[in-house]
Amino acid sequence: MKKAVFLLPVFFAIAAPTFAALGAAEESVGADEQKFLPTQTTMSERGAYRLHEMTRGDGSVVREYVNGQGKVFGVSWKGPVLPDLSQLLGAHFAAFRDNAHQKAGRRRMAIVHSGDLVVESAGHPRAFFGRAYLNSMLPAGVTQETVQ
């Protein structure tokens, strides 16, 4: 523990600009914004969680859901193109990528259940949508259906 406490500030100093959202601290939403380049951002308190919403002129929307511990427990996306999922899923991207596509179903939808992680990516060119969440981080009284 002591080592981790000592190392964390150093790690953040180096990696903060690219540190991504899902499962990470709320500050990481800023890094996602830098990548997504929204034309409008909003933040709203929703009782058990806080919602960050980024909107772009092409109609793309990314939402990030933050729990009472200040951690991003869910992200969702919708729009004509996919957002950078490696950015949005962060440390959980590898688990998604490794399970998302397979030759039995090339170019199909992707639904990944990997331990605590659920990722659903759907749609087609011009109309993609999807979401990802961490079951263990859902605030009390908040269901998976909140992440939309």
Binding interface with other proteins (CB under 8 A): 57-61, 78-87, 89, 93, 96-97, 99-112, 120-131
Q: How far is the CB of 144 from other proteins (least distance, A)?
A: 10
> What string of DSSP letters covers 14-73?
HHGGG--STTSBTTHHHHHHHHH--SEEEEEE-SSSEEEEEE-TTS-EEEEEE-TTSBEE
Which CB atom, from 9 or from 74, has the smaller least distance to other proteins?
A: 74
> Least distance in Å: CB of 4 to other proteins?
27
Which one, 69 or 144, has the nearer CB to other proteins? 144
**Torsion of the alpha carbons at 106, 56, 53 and 41, rounded to the nearest 10:** 160
Compute the least distance from the CB of residue 20 to other proteins, in Å: 10
**Residue closer to other proteins (CB basis): 49 or 133:** 133
